[in-house]
Amino acid sequence: MDRISCFCTPRENHYCDLTTRKMLCDPGQQHCLLVLKRIGGENYQTQFQGCWNWTITQTCPSEPGVCYNFRSNDDFVTCCCKGDSCNEPTIPVKRIPGDQVTGPDPYNRTHEKTISTRPLSPFSNNPTLFYAVALPLLLLVLLIVVFIFIILRRYRQAAHTLGSAGVGGSSKLSSEKQKSLFRCHNFFPPSLKMCFSKNRPTNDGYQFGATDGLLCRSCPPNGTPCVVCGKCLLAQTGGSQLVPQLTRPLLGGGWLAEDELEELSQICTKVRICSRGRFGEVWLGRLTQSDHETARDVAIKVFPAAEKKSWEAELELYRLPQLKHPNILHYIGVDKVTRDSTEGEAGSDRACGSGENSVIEYWLVTDYLPLGSVYDYIRVKELSWGQMLRIAAGMARGLSYLHTELPRTASQFPKPSIAHRDFKSRNVLLKSDLTACISDLGLATRLETGRGIGDAHLQVGTGRYMAPEVLDGAIQFTRDAFLRIDVYALGLVIWELMTRAHGPRDPPPDDDTTPCLPPYMAPFEAELGPAPSMEQLQLCVAKLKKRPEPSPRWENDQAFTQLWETVQDSWDHDAEARITAGCIAGRIQNLSQKHPPSPDDPARLLPSLSSTSSINTSASSAFSTLGFAQTPSAPKQSPDFVPLLALPSSDPVASNADQAAVIVV
């Protein structure tokens, strides 16, 4: 049977040809999918294109030339058409015969309309109406620009005078100067008046610097208004902590991350290629810094010029505030490199240049972890009970930290909640002490309060790790829905670890002995083979509700049985019934105390963690890894730490303006 092709969205499917924007569908598929997004009135733009991966075709037409709308709401229209390359945005979209449309009907029932992808303007035939609307708007914009210009001019004058007054290091200003300097505070909202208050004490030691910006300790704990006050304005809080200085980067958008390095091609070189992916290559690199005696190994993720948007998307997330975490891959910096293609892949890298044979590359540099991914490690090694719990807890903590939205504090900018959307064993790397680090944020998305996520795409990630609602195309565009998709994938990766781990009473594995566990198998490899199609996965996971089977050796092991219950709760078919990543981390911590590893377990040689786990919300401080001490000691409470699990004592962690809010898991 001939296979049809459909138009596709390149970023959402690695089988999509970038030149023709088409993909070849699986044998037996005769329909294509088209998702349109409303941009105003009856005007739509293309949101998603691809093959029809669902087995149900009753909602699809039996004749070509028309697209049946089987799902619609106020913002999106999803339809199905039949035939080769039929899912063009100009195809007529009609209701399903018999009124089998779900959701509100966007069409007039007296006659069917074709969705137009061309913008319709009410001013095209009425110039008078155009000028009547455009001229007042133009005048309003000019008034706003003039108003902003006057405010900035007055403020710059005040900042210049204030900075000049601080050259000598004196914090005492005459009353006349204070009145003139702080006159600008009347133009700003109340939250900003604290930056320039006339009631500041003169003997409090507050200093005003004469650098590029101002330094004040009265700024409110919301860094953005302080940036409006002056360029690179710093707000100093209690003690010696400072709100990080905001600096514009040379490449990319946003602000430089803490300790980020720029122009890395001058101090970083490629050594050898490690892997190739759909968005680029990963190289082992060597980084040489003047303040370090020896060079260190780094990982260089190289994006070609055609994948610049993928580079920018991942860079945007790594530059978010408070993203530093022991279980998230450490970001070092980026650079744009022009390479001479005639001198080999690793030769003649430079930060700028041009020529007929030059090739532009975009670098994203992170820490290099020689153990590789969890997938690479467990394929060739068996794990002890303690090693398996250590890796699983690290993954859960890292994912929980990504999912957590941290509020703005007196010393930190806010961190939004982040959904990874491609969580799998290949995207979790291992440090030398088996600390798990989540990597590859290329498909991740920010889930901020008040920010819509309606532009997120439907099917992204790796097929065998997709949740049933993703395979079924029934995703709810809410924050919790996206986080539960990650939790489903986390459960599959923990299942992978369990299949390659020994129990707490078993002797630890030895590299010199013969392997006694079954060889590694990916999720659903036993049921569907090594390369299942989307249609097979949809039938198995979404329709038949199957999950990877437990090993028979777990039945008589209470420790494995309890961990298996946690895995089942994480991949529940009902997304709303799934537990959170933080809850999984807490259960694993309790399991490690209830069923500790044997005395000769290799995990006992690793750094230990006190009995109460903590998530550190401070991006700059250290974080203890999971280990197993013979006598766990009570944790020392610190204002920079909050408990992952509820504290059993009646002495709660203190709360004030300089502390982070407690994370609820």
Write out the two tokens for 356.
């007929």
Question: Vertex 289, ends 285 and 291: CA angle to 5°?
Answer: 150
Other residues' Cβ atoms within 10 Å of the Cβ of residue 256: 18
The Cα 69–Cα 101 span in angstroms is: 7
Write out the two tokens for 550.
């437990």
Buried b (16+ CB within 10 A) or exposed e, 40-66: eeebbeebbbbbbbbeeeebbbeeeeb
Side chain identity at 147, as an amino acid letter?
Answer: F
The Cα 199–Cα 332 span in angstroms is: 42
**Backbone phi and psi for residue 440, each to the nearest 5 degrees, phi listed first:** 60, 80
Other residues' Cβ atoms within 10 Å of the Cβ of residue 35: 20
**Backbone phi and psi for residue 643, each to the nearest 5 degrees, phi listed first:** -75, 140
Please list the alpha-helical segments (H only) found in 500-557: 525-528, 534-537
The Cα 436–Cα 424 span in angstroms is: 12
Q: How far is CA 28 from CA 55, 152, 300, 325, in A?
A: 10, 65, 41, 47
Contact 375, 426 (CB under 8 A): yes
Side chain identity at 461, as an amino acid letter?
Answer: G
Write out the two tokens for 653.
């962690």
Q: Which of 349, 422, 557, 572 is catalytic?
A: 422
| Residue in this structure with the two tokens 């028979």, named with its chain if needed | 552
The Cα 382–Cα 401 span in angstroms is: 28
Q: What is the 3-state secondary structure (H, E, C) of 77-143?
A: EEEEEECCCCCCCCCCEEECCCCCCECCCCCCCCCCCCCECCCCCCCCCCHHHHHHHHHHHHHHHHH
Other residues' Cβ atoms within 10 Å of the Cβ of residue 117: 15
The Cα 440–Cα 374 span in angstroms is: 14
The Cα 578–Cα 559 span in angstroms is: 21
Side chain identity at 285, as an amino acid letter?
Answer: G
Beta bridge pairs of residue 281: 276, 302
Write out the two tokens for 18.
């970038």
Beta bridge pairs of residue 303: 362
Question: Vertex 651, ends 648 and 654: CA angle to 5°?
Answer: 120
CB hemisphere CA count around 479 (13 angstroms)? 15
Contact 403, 419 (CB under 8 A): yes
Q: What is the 3-state secondary structure (H, E, C) of 309-354?
A: HHHHHHHHHHCCCCCCCCCECCEEEEEEEEEEHHHCCCCCEECCCC
**Residue 44 is inside which H or E element, if any?**
strand 43-51
The Cα 264–Cα 271 span in angstroms is: 15
The Cα 622–Cα 639 span in angstroms is: 14
Contacts of 330 (CB under 8 A, 6+ apart): 324, 366, 367, 437
Contacts of 291 (CB under 8 A, 6+ apart): none
Is 291 an annotated catalytic residue?
no
Residues labelled catalytic: 422
